[in-house]
Structure 1
Amino acid sequence: MDLNTVTSITPARHRDDLRALAPDVAPLAGGSELFASPQAHLTGLVDLQTFGWPALTVTRDGLEIAATCTLAELSRLPPEPGWNAHPLFLQCCTALFGSFKVWEVATVGGNLCAALPAGPMTTLAAALDAELLVWRRDGTDELLAAADFVTGNSTNVLETGDVLRSLRLPTSSLRSHTAFRSISLSPVGRSGAVLVGRLDSDGGFVLTVTAATVRPIQLRYPSLPEAAGLRRDIDAIDGWFTDAHGAADWRQAMSRLLGEEVRQELERKLQAA
């Protein structure tokens, strides 16, 4: 969709260029969400791609993903030795409501900032306990837990002038075993529920629930829980979401089902270890 009210595009090459951001001037990365609907309030854009941030950087502490990294780039990330969670990258990319063509432009950061309940990059970041580096408008940096970044349906913690710079995934999470489940009302529809289980090296278990809720919900246990306990805790979740892609009670029921599938898959991996 053409944004015919936009009269200026500022290529950002220095952090000072972000001062142009305003209520009527938005950051531009891939643009797949920005250009998907009318934005009549916008008069300008600030292009973040011109920063030239490296898309993916393997570090001693884990993996840094630039906010401007595309889903296509993320999906092609080669596995590192010991990264048992590596399949989760492709699994989350395929949960996007969009074709492979969209993967070439849609960015990890843009998907997070859109803050849609079904945002698969929100799922990935929260499930692996990523830290998000935010450049605040006042020039300061802030690290935030990914699970706390999205606050509701299409809302997040960013204020006007703030920019999401990168995601930092710790080695400890990347070495964990994961199990992924998703469901939608149609074969190519937007996800109605996405659940990721993570079994850490110390035996701890984390279940991340997204798409079914307005924001990521995490259930944490010192060890793999029994089926009844997990079901009870899923039922106690608040914030189930209703829209055209699924009613709240259906999403809750599917989360019970998928949560138990996740638990059983990781139980089998634990027994096989």
Structure 2
Amino acid sequence: MIGVLRAELLKVRADRPSRVLVLLGLLLGLGSAVLTGLLVIQPELAAGQPVTVLTREPGAVIAILNGAIPMTRILAVVSGVMAMCREYSHKTLAQTYLSTPNRYSVIGAKAGAQLLVGLIIGLISVVIGLVVAIGFVIAAGGSLFLDQGGTWGALLLGVLSIAIWSLIGCAAGVLIRDVVITLAVVLGFCFLVDPTLAAIFAQQGWTLVQNLLPSGATAAMVQSHSPLMMLSANPFPPGLAMLVLIGWCLVPGVIGTLLTIRRDVE
């Protein structure tokens, strides 16, 4: 199993599109974090008042610290999709299964590799948020609230949320296989259908179903009140929200794995 995992990590490192995705993710994450910071302080700026929200509300600072998540999770989910689907598109999966006949080991190794990749992307996301937050805090004379355990907990959960999004993409790739269709379905649902449903549920006051959506679960997990995150009026506790997000990974992953071990591979 260790050898298979090492091989999958080597594939990720040697993949040129992955390096392009990382650069794109850095730019999108930076823009997302800056936009989050501007939206957090905008009400006070619009009222012509001094920016005090960053000095008195840890939640506002946490929103900026995790402000890159709305965009870096796109990078994570695309990376997860590519990890599985590129083998189908390049028709190299048959050779992979011949070298490792146990398909459970192959799929498990791909999931393990993507978990590590997702954790790295999550750390990058936190670093981006920290750099941006320092800029806003210095400008406003606020605090990063790093002396509070809640801040560190939110940052850790932010990293874990990105890792889970990477696994969601990998699970979708196992289930659907075609890279174009998988990307269309995953990105269309997670970043078009999901936010639309979340807005409708929020307007109707249906907080339970909003919490069960990937966006609502992510926002509750990282405890973010960012306007870019679809946090419900009555969010789940972070631990329960994480379980909901894991469920969005396990359902397609389990179904896709059961189908994969039974079907022929070209």
For the superposition of Structure 1 and Structure 2, which TM-score range results when normalised by the shorter chain?
A: under 0.3
Identify, as 1 or 2, the structure richer in helix: 2
TM, length-normalised to structure 2? 0.27
